[in-house]
Amino acid sequence: MANLKELASRPERLIGGHRLCAGCGASILVRQVLLSIDKPMVLSNATGCLEVATTIFPYTSWAVPWMHNAFENAAATISGVETAYRHFKRQGKIDKDIVFVAFGGDGGTYDIGIQSLSGAIERGHRFLYVCYDNQAYMNTGIQRSGSTPYGAHTMTSPSGKVIPGKMQKRKDLTMIIAAHHLPYAAQVSPSHWRDLNKKVEKAISYDGPTFINALSSCNRGWRHKMEDTIEILRVAVDTCVWPLYEIEEGILRITYKPREKKPVEEWLKPQGRYKHLFTPKYEHLIGEIQKDVDQRWERLQKLEGCFVGEKDK
């Protein structure tokens, strides 16, 4: 694993001047991912905040080959490029070891793009797919997605007299992807950069599809202070709302266990999207959310060391 000094000496692949919000989790995440890859790379990027704000015509913040594709087909695009690469490499026209990476938000991954991602993984293309999970369709006005947590306020699951925010629980996409029998899948957070760096290095070492799901704070949609991004993400990990783990060759391993698991209220309270939960009408939902987080964490610990989505032999 590269140390901090080595990472800091590597050239930036996502350069300044983009229009992503100050404190955007996606920009921090992408920089960490790209600095973890010390090889030539080609990227595809689904429509979303990351794509829109980094490539306002005629400018680009990408210092590597990069392709914009539709909302739903980042994985299909990168799998096509990877296939062409293998063809030209067999012909001796390319001799470089190139890494292929696709980025998509939760809307373009959990929902609209899941069929494209599932198909690309099933076909066995060699690429890393990174989901920057900001838990809603932030680019188009903060609408709920399949990743939006229970009780969160969005424009299409508004908290009020009728409902207390989103009424459904979020998908467990990392486990869904693990069920595809791919070599490597993991959850990361930019607040734990060493863990993230190590997992990216592992992911690109495999000759096959790999997947990383990254929690990516959006201060506009989550309604928190711009300067609190990393702390918000750290609390998500310490409350076990977003546990850090990997599934390598089918075996699940938790890569970070909080010394003292914090109550979920510490995750909810700094975010304006949950402020209605701290009113008399809806405060009982905090207990329900805590119970769900506890059960999921206990279940994850029981799965540690077990085969989860075992790779086909």
Interval 51-97: pLDDT, tens: 999 999 999 999 999 999 999 999 999 999 999 999 999 999 999 99
Average pLDDT, the chain: 96
High-pLDDT (> 90) share of the chain, % = 95
Counting every residue written for the chain, the total comes to 313
Contact predicate 74/50, CB 8 Å: no
Read off the pLDDT band of 312 (50, 70, 90): very low
Residue 299 backbone dihedrals phi, psi, to 5 degrees: -65, -40
Structure-token pair, residue 28:
């921090």
High-pLDDT (> 70) share of the chain, % = 98
pLDDT at 310: 54
pLDDT above 60 (res 242) = yes
SS3 246: strand
Please state the domain extents for the chain: 4-303
Query: CA 101, 210, 28: angle at the middle one, nearest 5?
Result: 50
Condensed to tens digits (0 to 9), the pLDDT of residues 205-240 reads: 999 999 999 999 999 999 999 999 999 999 999 999
The DSSP H or E segment spanning 196 is helix 193-205
Q: What is the Cα–Cα distance from 176 to 155, expressed in whole angstroms?
A: 27
Cβ-based burial of 87 (10 A; exposed 0-12, middle 13-18, buried ≥19): exposed
Please say whether the dihedral angle defined by the alpha carbons of residues 284, 289, 294 and 295, taken in this order, is positive or negative. Answer: positive
Provide the 10 A C-beta neighbour count for residue 249.
12
Q: What is the Cα–Cα distance from 10 to 6, expressed in whole angstroms?
A: 7
What is each CA distance from 181 to 25, 121, 213, in whole angstroms? 29, 9, 16
DSSP letters, 36-94, are T--S-EEEEEESSHHHHHH--TT---BSS-EEEE-TT-HHHHHHHHHHHHHHHHHTTS-
Q: What is the Cα–Cα distance from 273 to 121, expressed in whole angstroms?
A: 34
| pTM: predicted TM-score of the whole model, two decimal places | 0.96
Taking Cα atoms as reference points, which of 131, 77, 82 lies closest to residue 108?
131
| CATH level 3 topology of 4-303 | Rossmann fold (3.40.50)
Q: What is the Cα–Cα distance from 133 to 272, expressed in whole angstroms?
A: 18
What is each CA distance from 303 to 182, 297, 298, in whole angstroms? 18, 10, 9
Condensed to tens digits (0 to 9), the pLDDT of residues 142-178 reads: 999 999 999 999 999 999 999 999 999 999 999 999 9
